[in-house]
Amino acid sequence: MHPRTTAITGWDEDDEDDFEPECVATVEDGFERGAALSGLWLHIRSQEFRSGRVTAALSGVTIDLREAELATEGATIHVQSALSGITILVPPEWDVLWDVDAICGGVGDQRRPRRSAEPRPRLRIAGMVVAGGLSVR
């Protein structure tokens, strides 16, 4: 039987995946989180979501809003990203407005557009992406 050596390398051969993202679930009406050199999965279940702020550096971040309801006036998520990818998952019936500057990066909505005469929940995404990507799905 060989002793396990994790102090030097940080590698544990018994684990299937040492690179699992940190998973956070909340029912609060807002959040403020950051990720550096890691992964982060935020699952928002608020029934009156108002705002969020995420900062990512050399990371992958997913914000899952599919079980959330927006406040009557809508909500805003502020993003600051460098060399990172951020994915925001939203219900198909939400309108998404963009106010994001991308420098050597890309920003896009990968959902199919849906037109409706009825007022729809409105999510505003604001901030900056540098050498990375931001997508809404």
Task: Read off the pLDDT of residues 119-132 as tens digits, 9 standing for 90 and up.
Answer: 889 999 999 999 99
Q: What is the pLDDT of residue 119?
A: 81
**CA end-to-end span of the chain:** 48
Per-residue pLDDT of 58-113, as tens digits, reads 999 999 999 999 999 999 999 999 999 999 999 999 999 999 999 999 999 988 87
Look up residue 86 and give its two tokens.
């951020």
Between CA 52 and CA 113 the distance in angstroms is: 24
| pLDDT score at 20 | 75
pLDDT at 3 over 50: no
From the number of C-beta atoms within 10 Å of its C-beta (0-12, 13-18, 19+), residue 79 rates as buried
At residue 53 the predicted structure's pLDDT band, cuts being 50, 70 and 90, is very high
Please check the confidence at residue 9 and state whether its pLDDT lies above 50: no
